[in-house]
Structure 1
Amino acid sequence: MRRTTTLLARLLLGGAMLAAVAVAPRAQEAAAPPEALFPELEASRVRLEAAGWLLRGSATFIGQFHPGFRSRYEGPSSMAPGAVQANTFSADLVIGRRLWSGAEIIIDGQISRGFGFSNARGAAAFPNAEAFRLGSEDIKGYVPRAFFRQTIALGTTMEEADDDPFRFAGPLPRERLTITAGKFSIWDIFDDNRYAHDPRTQFQNWALVGAGAFDFAADARGYTNGLAVEYDDGVWGVRLGALQVARDQNGLALDATPGRGFQALVQLDRFWRIDDRPGAVRLLYGASRTNSANYRDLIAVNFDEAASEAVRNYRVKHNLLLNFEQALSEDLGMFGRLSWNDGRSQSWMFTEMDRAVSLGLSLRGARWGRADDTVGLATNVGWLSGAHRRYLAAGGIGFITGDGRLRYSPEVATELYYDIRVAPGVNFSLGYQLLVNPAYNADRGPVSVFAVRARLAV
């Protein structure tokens, strides 16, 4: 793995330097950031970007281990109770091109390998958001993002933008309209949170990366096709989205009839500063129309495969979330999410959770002389609807949960991590998670999860 990561870094950085020389020999000289790991190569990348080409890269390894835990029984979607280690590796090469004023095309090529515990089953708040249920022992390549984006200035005031590997560096119009069309992750635009939104640099549990009870549109890898329109003025934000949904439960193929199967999203944001400390609240509503079955009908046909297919129909699931963040001091931030869906029909794309509450803190290391290190602590509590609970108790099997029977109790996932900045663009983290009542079953667990993460970004 070390050789793979080293080779990737050399290819990415070498490619940036060669492309900068070839494409932008007369571009204005730009000094590399003083903290760049490879200053000359970073200067070449900056010159390349000044000439209208974006080139970014990253590689992330996550290794996790859980010792054996109590299990009175297990089913097809249970987490294996024996001691298990699992790991994932992913690497991205992002290429972008400016087209005209405010317009750009972004393409993200990715390779990945590895698995989550029990092929990413057995806990609704799964501990590795880099894992998906199409894991592989071999390296697989695909294109998770390929989109067009147009940013339209509605005023002359500019503001500094947060660092984004999928956007050209530089300020953005404070008041703007942004249109994005193509293939992307719904989390690229919706349910953002500065303290808990990226498993490669922050919390790893996917119920802390996003709202657990919101059935986000995605294929089994976490991406979809769609259109998003955003308005921002620095105080208010409005985001609208129309996206494809999975054809089958947690399937890789997207529904090819977007007039019948789709997800529509409306998000309202409010931003503020208290004593110059930023805060935000986001309210997101989503209506998902998928070719799914409701739990009552699945129980009535006794989970017969053919009969279960017969009771599938296009039906709407309503989703709602409230997401907030607030800086409490220069180095300490607080965040939380509340999410809900109606819980009548099958969980289809993200995870199996019908109500969820998460709350956490993120602390930078300035107090002990490590200003670029981060400590995070957060907890998510997830619940099932009555219909979903009865389905699992009767022996129903979901795509993530399903022990064959159920002694129901809310699932609680707590995560603590320390992320160390080893060098510019190089981070290493240690983490611990405790899963209580995994898959909502008081007859199993608790599960302790120990994690290491290494990341290189250029």
Structure 2
Amino acid sequence: MTRKPHLLLLSLLIAVCSTTALAQKAGSGADQIETFAAPIPGLPTEGNIWGMPVNLHGQTTYINQRYNNFKSSYSGQNSLDSLKSMSYTWSGTLFFGARIAPNTDVYFNPEVVSGVPFSDLAGLGGFTNGEATKANGAQAKFYSARAFARHTINQEGDKVVLENEANQLTQTVSSNRVVLTGGQFSTLDIFDDSRYAKDPRIQFMNWGNMTYLAYDYAADARGYSWGLAGEWYLDNWVMRASRMLAPKSPNGRDLNWQIFNAYGDQVEVERQHNIAELPGKVSVLAYRNQMILARFQDATNYINQDPATRQGSQAINNVRTSNQIKTGIGLNAEQALTKDLGIYGRAFTSDGHTETMSFTEADNSISVGMGMNGTQWKRPDDTIGISMMQNGLSSYRRSYLQAGGVSYFIGDYASPSQTISYSPERIGEIYYNATVIKNVLAGLNFQHIINPAYNSARGPVNILSFRIHAEF
């Protein structure tokens, strides 16, 4: 796209979102309950063009985060800055949809992002802002976030109405159906859905609450990829599988289009249920990545051959020579306790032999939490969430770091005389969102981080965030 269409797109987004945004939504599907916010009637964002159903939605989100000085006996190349710091992100997205055939839709999401993350996005496993991975400086960047087609094959079963929303035209489907999605999208658009902890724009902000932190899903540096996904709905069961493009280099912006040579595969089985007429679900997700990656044992051996010159270096770059396999498996469960309150939990482990491909530095992770809306204090559109997370490293990754190695996001090595004690990274997070005016919410978020980047000699860090979000 040229610069002029970008400016027009941005102007449209700001103008529309400023006057006609919707308040946040709480999940989707026929079994939706008012866990986070009561449904708010929207504007006529769905219509017809040339006899073809279309819809248009948008969002804009601003997040500002700050922390004061924290304890640090030393700092290394990839340490979180121990001095008082400020970070922010701003994003805007348009969601275009069109039904080109009775059961076939196409969607396109142009997006703009600007922002400055803490310490150039280094010094943590569980980063504090899910939008920060997309930000690359104060200058706004425009790009395509999603451009995909979705085809539904209905089978016999109960009728389910999917309501008009972002990337979903109003549609009546069967409870038994197959859904195929192909094109550009995020792996997390399909997998590991959660009513309580999913979207950093309106729920928890920390990466460990976007998904399993140890789930190294295939994506470019912004979190999107190209691929094909299939979902099979059988009443209360859902089975999902996909293959997504891997980046050309770990955590890189460019994707490798050799889909049979470098890729990320995942499968998920989900069982939905009702307890006392309140919905819940349990799901198991496993992934298998293949691409040229460094093995931590090889990188550690490389440093030990000449520690005088190789300590403090990103030695993984020197041993990345052949395709490696990386695998992991996780469990996700959630349950509504009342119409206004629900709980969730996630646990995941990866094999830990190889470096991170696309997400962040974690080999095992667990998170638990709850979310509720403000019905009890007569503000049903307000929401609150509380969460606890623990992230850990494999013995292979720890050995590499203790030998003096540095990776993309972590590595506090500063001198040969320094002894680093690695411990699990523990994070507590709480947020409150208030509907300030109709269709616009503002929120506060607090995160307490113990052992940032798994280093017990640094921290804790207390991070206070302010957020404003609008949709239409």
TM-score (norm 1): 0.90
Offset at residue 52 of structure 1 (A)? 0.8
Q: 1:99 is paired with a residue of what secondary structure? A: strand
The structure-2 alpha-carbon separation of the partners of 1:129 and 1:277, relative to structure 1 and needing over 3 Å to count, comes to same
Please show how residues 88-237 of structure 1 align to structure 2 within 5 Å: 88-132=89-133, 135-161=136-162, 164-237=165-238
Q: 2:132 is paired with a residue of what secondary structure? A: coil
- Provide Cα deviations, 1:223-260, integer angstroms capped at 9, x if missing partner: 01100000112310000101111111211011232211
2:46–2:56 Cα contact (<8 Å) kept: no
Offset at residue 77 of structure 1 (A)? 1.3
The structure-2 alpha-carbon separation of the partners of 1:223 and 1:449, relative to structure 1 and needing over 3 Å to count, comes to same
Q: 2:91 is paired with a residue of what secondary structure? A: strand
| Pair 1:361 & 2:366 matched | no
Whole-angstrom CA distance in 2 between matches of 1:208 and 1:425 = 24
2:292–2:320 Cα contact (<8 Å) kept: no
Structure 1 counterpart of 2:411, one-letter code: G
Offset at residue 171 of structure 1 (A)? 3.9
| Pair 1:350 & 2:359 matched | yes
Q: 1:47 is paired with a residue of what secondary structure? A: strand
Offset at residue 173 of structure 1 (A)? 2.1
Structure 2 counterpart of 1:125, one-letter code: G
Please show how residues 304-323 of structure 1 align to structure 2 within 5 Å: 308-323=317-332
The structure-2 alpha-carbon separation of the partners of 1:305 and 1:342, relative to structure 1 and needing over 3 Å to count, comes to closer
Residue 402 (structure 2) aligned to one of 359, 375, 393: 393
Please show how residues 47-58 of structure 1 align to structure 2 within 5 Å: 47-48=47-48, 51-58=52-59
Offset at residue 310 of structure 1 (A)? 4.4
Offset at residue 455 of structure 1 (A)? 0.5
- Provide Cα deviations, 1:156-193, integer angstroms capped at 9, x if missing partner: 52124477411113443211110000010111000111
Runs of 5+ unmatched residues, structure 1: 17-32
2:3 maps to which residue? none
The structure-2 alpha-carbon separation of the partners of 1:413 and 1:34, relative to structure 1 and needing over 3 Å to count, comes to closer
The structure-2 alpha-carbon separation of the partners of 1:385 and 1:310, relative to structure 1 and needing over 3 Å to count, comes to closer
Whole-angstrom CA distance in 1 between matches of 2:366 and 2:314 = 34
Offset at residue 321 of structure 1 (A)? 1.0
Offset at residue 13 of structure 1 (A)? 8.7
| Pair 1:448 & 2:462 matched | yes
Residue 335 (structure 2) aligned to one of 279, 302, 326: 326
Q: Bigger shift: 345-354 or 401-410?
A: 401-410
Whole-angstrom CA distance in 2 between matches of 1:427 and 1:148 = 31
| Pair 1:414 & 2:428 matched | yes
The structure-2 alpha-carbon separation of the partners of 1:366 and 1:133, relative to structure 1 and needing over 3 Å to count, comes to closer
Q: How many residues matched?
A: 434
TM-score (norm 2): 0.87
| Pair 1:8 & 2:16 matched | no
Structure 1 counterpart of 2:187, one-letter code: I
2:344 maps to which residue? 335
2:307 maps to which residue? none
Runs of 5+ unmatched residues, structure 2: 1-8, 22-37, 304-309, 414-418
2:295–2:319 Cα contact (<8 Å) kept: no
Q: 1:301 is paired with a residue of what secondary structure? A: helix
Whole-angstrom CA distance in 2 between matches of 1:305 and 1:392 = 10
Cα RMSD for the two superposed structures: 2.3
